[in-house]
Amino acid sequence: MQRFLLRVGVLAILQGCARPAPVPGPTGHETPERAAKAEADLARPPPVLPPALAPVAPEVVAHGSRSVRSVALTFDACSTRDVSKYDERITHELIANQTPATIFLGGSWAREEAAHVRELASHPELFELENHTFTHPHMPAVKDDARVREELVRTQAEVQALTGRIPLFWRPPYGEYDARVVKIAADVGLITIEYDLASGDPDAHATKEKLVEWVLKKVQPGSIVVMHINHRRFHTSEALPGIIQGLRARGYQLVTVGEMLRESHGLPGAILDAGAP
In order, the DSSP letters of the chain are -HHHHHHIIIIIHHHTTS---S---TTS-SSHHHHHHHHHHHHSPPPPPPPPPPP----EE-B--TTS-EEEEEEEE---SS-----HHHHHHHHHTT--EEEEE-HHHHHHTHHHHHHHHT-TTTEEEEE--SS---GGG---HHHHHHHHHHHHHHHHHHHS----EE--GGG---HHHHHHHHHHT-EEE--SEE--TTSTT--HHHHHHHHHHH--TTBEEEEESS-TTSSHHHHHHHHHHHHHHTTPEEE-HHHHHHHHS---HHHHHTT--
Which tens digits make up the pLDDT trace of 72-105?
A: 999 999 876 555 578 999 999 999 999 999 999 9
Distance of alpha carbon 196 from alpha carbon 104, whole angstroms: 16
SS3 string of 235-250? CHHHHHHHHHHHHHHC
The pLDDT assigned to 250 comes to 98
Beta partners for residue 133, in sequence order: none
In the chain, domain spans: 2-43+61-273
Do residues 117 and 108 make contact, with C-beta atoms less than 8 angstroms apart? Answer: no
C-alpha to C-alpha distances, 247 to 26, 105, 221, 263, nearest whole angstrom:
42, 25, 10, 19
Q: Quick one: 2-43+61-273 is in which CATH superfamily?
A: Glycoside hydrolase/deacetylase (3.20.20.370)
Strands 60-61 and 191-193: parallel
Q: Is the pTM of this model over 0.75?
A: yes
Looking at residue 131, what is its pLDDT? 98
For residue 64, the model assigns a pLDDT of 96
At CA 60, angle to CA 48 and CA 275, rounded to 5? 30
pLDDT of res. 276? 60
| pLDDT tens digits in sequence order for the chain, 277 residues long | 333 333 333 334 444 454 545 589 999 998 999 899 999 999 999 899 899 999 999 999 999 999 999 999 999 998 765 555 789 999 999 999 999 999 999 999 999 999 999 999 999 999 999 999 999 999 999 999 999 999 999 999 999 999 999 999 999 999 999 999 999 999 999 999 999 999 999 898 999 999 999 999 999 999 999 999 988 889 999 999 999 999 999 999 999 999 999 987 777 654 555 556 5
